[in-house]
Copies of this chain bind each other. A is one copy, B any other.
Amino acid sequence: MKLALVGIGKIALDQHVPAIAASPEWELAATVSRSGTVEGVEAFTRIEDMLEARPDIELVSLCLPPVPRFAAAQAALRAGRHLMLEKPPGATLSEVHALADLAQAQGVSLFATWHSRMAHAVAGAKAWLAGKTIREGRITWREDVRKWHPGQDWIFEAGGMGVFDPGINALSILTEILPDPVHLTGAELDFPANRQAPIAARLAFTQNIFADFDFRQEGPQTWDMEFSTDAGKLALRMGGNVIEIDGQPAGGEDSIMGEYPALYARMAELVRDGVSDVDLSPMVQVSDAFTLGRRNIVEDFEFQKETQ
């Protein structure tokens, strides 16, 4: 089946293009981007032109930042194409509800992806936690925005989500593996004085679960989740790729595919079965943090460090 990739930036080139190249089900038949291209693939600059020129393309996969994503998503669905959304699926919850309704009306499949849920150890962690009672949980998600999003100013604009861009990956795992749903009871968000999205956040949830998100982490990067239960301890490390039970490595690598290959395999399944997969709970948790959170103003952030 043929697909078009829209938004040829870092995530498209690092993850989507290799995953599609390795897929037995999908062929990259076109790209849409103001400036990015993929060698040997027909390139468009406007999605409307691609949709008109290439009725043979069944799936549109969107890697645009959240704010401009809606118009492209709507155009693809209106043209009767299946649609796959990089996370987060939009800038607002309301627009994603509208896309889900539109996909249903058009009889096509919509997949709001959460790539971290496809990490190797997530399914194993969910299976281990089933039926257990959480006593305490601690999520530490600390990475260097300069390394992972070099110069990407959109991430700190209104709607760019700031540290919730990686933090939502942790929340997508949390909302997947817990036996009972959580909700936020308090949050603190640190906004740089010169930016419109937070650079760090501390979240308190029910079930004694706490999260520490920070975009200013130089040196070692941390994407860890640790839970104490009534029947032992579980840790997920490396963004859901490594599992430990009571401090010992515990395999649990239930998926043999990488995250993005697994997403494209799942998309093929959804199309075959004629269904959608739109779980907004990670994004609801982020919206709740923005609504409920206390805001602190912290020092300015620039991607370019001042030289001595």
Q: Footprint of B on A, CB under 8 Å?
A: 67, 70, 91-95, 97-98, 101, 158-159, 161, 181-184, 186-187, 191, 196, 281, 284-288, 290-295
Number of chain copies forming the complex: 2
Which listed residue (B181, B183, B286) contacts A291, Cβ 8 A?
B286
* 8 cross-chain pairs, A with B, having the tightest CB-CB distances, nearest first: A94-B183, A92-B288, A287-B287, A95-B183, A290-B290, A159-B292, A158-B294, A290-B291
Report the separation of the CA atoms of residues A158 and B204 in the bound assembly, to the nearest whole angstrom: 14
> In the complex, are the beta carbons of B94 and A285 less than 8 A apart?
yes
Q: List 29 A-B pairs, Cβ < 8 Å.
A: A67-B292, A70-B183, A92-B288, A92-B291, A92-B292, A93-B284, A93-B287, A93-B291, A94-B181, A94-B182, A94-B184, A94-B284, A95-B183, A97-B284, A98-B181, A98-B183, A101-B181, A158-B186, A158-B292, A158-B295, A159-B292, A284-B287, A286-B291, A287-B287, A287-B288, A287-B290, A287-B291, A290-B290, A295-B295
| Minimum CB–CB distance for A264 against chain B, Å | 28
What residues on B are CB-neighbors of A191 within 8 Å? Answer: 295
